[in-house]
Amino acid sequence: MNDARRQLIDHISAGAVFHGDFILTSGKEASYYVDLRKVSLDHRVAPLIGQVMLDLIAEIPDVAAVGGMTMGADPVAAAILHQGVARGVSLDAFVVRKEPKDHGRGRQVEGPDVAGKRVIVLEDTSTTGGSPLAAIVALEKVGAVVVAVAVVVDRDTGAKEVIEAAGYRYLAAIGLSDLGLSK
């Protein structure tokens, strides 16, 4: 395990894992909750997220942009964009709104044009796979070519299977066991 990944796991374990009774997006109950925004917007952790996620997606050729459903994917995409620049990797970022705007240009996908470009959909933590699939629908409507879904923390609650059943590659940087958690 490289140093950036180890540091990221430590930061997530210490600052983003909460124990108690929680209801997940799926409606299921859980005894812990991973709130990645507690660390993904932290100046010490964002660069680590960018480094780890760049390593995760490095083997996928010709990726032009990364992003996903706002709000969870936004800081992850920004971290990748900035760490990419530091490594000499040219990646743009995009944001997918839940619904198209009802004013201005009426866009649902914001950022540089992704039509005809290979993109990776991001998620901070995965539960059901619903958010990445919704982002994929919006991206494909504007002509993007989705080549994978990449998540920082996989909760091992079925998202991988849902994404793969829909025909997309699924990559996760950190699993529950890395955080000392179980299903």
DSSP helix/strand/coil, 92: strand
- Closest residue by Cα to residue 152 from 32, 21, 4: 4
Kindly report the CA angle at 50 between 53 and 41, in degrees rounded to 5? 120
Structural domains of the chain sorted by starting position, each given as residue range(s) with its CATH number in brackets: 50-179 (3.40.50.2020)
The model's pTM: 0.94
**Look-up of token digits 């374990």:** 13
The fraction of the chain above a pLDDT of 70, given in percent, is 96
pLDDT at 52 over 70: yes
Enter the tokens of residue 129: 């796979």
Query: How far is CA 22 from each of CA 34, 37, 38, 102, 105, rounded to the nearest angstrom?
Result: 10, 17, 16, 34, 38
pLDDT at res. 106: 63
**Interval 83-91 mean pLDDT:** 96
Which of 64, 33, 66 is CA-nearest to residue 49? Answer: 66
Average pLDDT over residues 131-147: 97
Give the CA distances from residue 100 to residues 41, 135, 163, in Å, rounded to whole numbers and listed in that order: 25, 12, 23
Q: Residues 6 or more apart from 6 whose CB is under 8 A from it? A: none
Mean pLDDT rounded to a whole number for the chain:
94
* Residue range 161-179, pLDDT digits in tens: 999 999 999 999 999 999 9
Q: List the structure tokens of 44.
A: 């010490």
Cα distance between residue 157 and residue 112, in whole Å = 33
Mean pLDDT of 28-54: 95
- Per-residue pLDDT for 102 more than 70? no
